[in-house]
Amino acid sequence: MCARYELDESPADIISRFGLTDPLHAINMSIIRPTDQALIIKASGIATVCGWGFRVNWDNKPMINARSETLRGKPTFKPHLENRCIVPASGYFEWRKESNKKYKNRIFPSDQAIFSMAGLVDGNTFTIITCQPAPEIAHIHNRMPVILTPVAEREWLNGCQSFEHVAHHLVPYDQAPVTAMEEPLPPPRQGDLFQ
């Protein structure tokens, strides 16, 4: 998954979709980039704002993604397997490469206007878990965030369930087609007429 996603829905719609009881304040409701503060929902449905990307002492870049297949064995993520969260979104962005050009795609499940991505929390930061892509978007990128169904969200956030009991949700989304809307390339720049 690339380093951009969006949450472009009204606070009222987000509260309704996730059954939140607290008002949403000071939340970036547009394009979210690594290290930005963003809305996450922890166990028991507690909404909070955290920075995107685990801090590690061996890399200057934040760890914004965690591969579902290797979570159990990675020292960065293994201690946080029981600190699960969901990350609300209305789409995420990936760039399809073709020869020397990149094409921006906004990707989202076709059955949910607001969806959630599986994540882990480390204090005041979070990371998004990725998996193999759904077949319909595999031509764009070889990874995608784990998108959860509403039923899977409840199980993922259930603190009484161990990671081993909920790990089966860390798979490509298959409840509905995953849609990619590719943005057209900008027109070529006109050369300076007075050179």
State yes or no: is 6 an active-site residue. no
Residue with tokens 């995107």: 52
Tell me the one-letter amino acid at 192: D
Contact present, 65 and 170 (Cβ < 8 Å) = no
CB atoms within 10 A of CB 136: 15
Of the candidates 2, 9, 136, 182, the residue annotated as catalytic is 2
Which of these, 139, 144, 78, 73, lies nearest to 107 by C-alpha position? Answer: 144
As a whole number of angstroms, the distance between CA 59 and CA 137 comes to 30
Q: What is the DSSP letter of 45?
A: G
State yes or no: is 98 an active-site residue. no
Of the candidates 50, 85, 94, 153, the residue annotated as catalytic is 94
Residue numbers annotated as active site: 2, 94
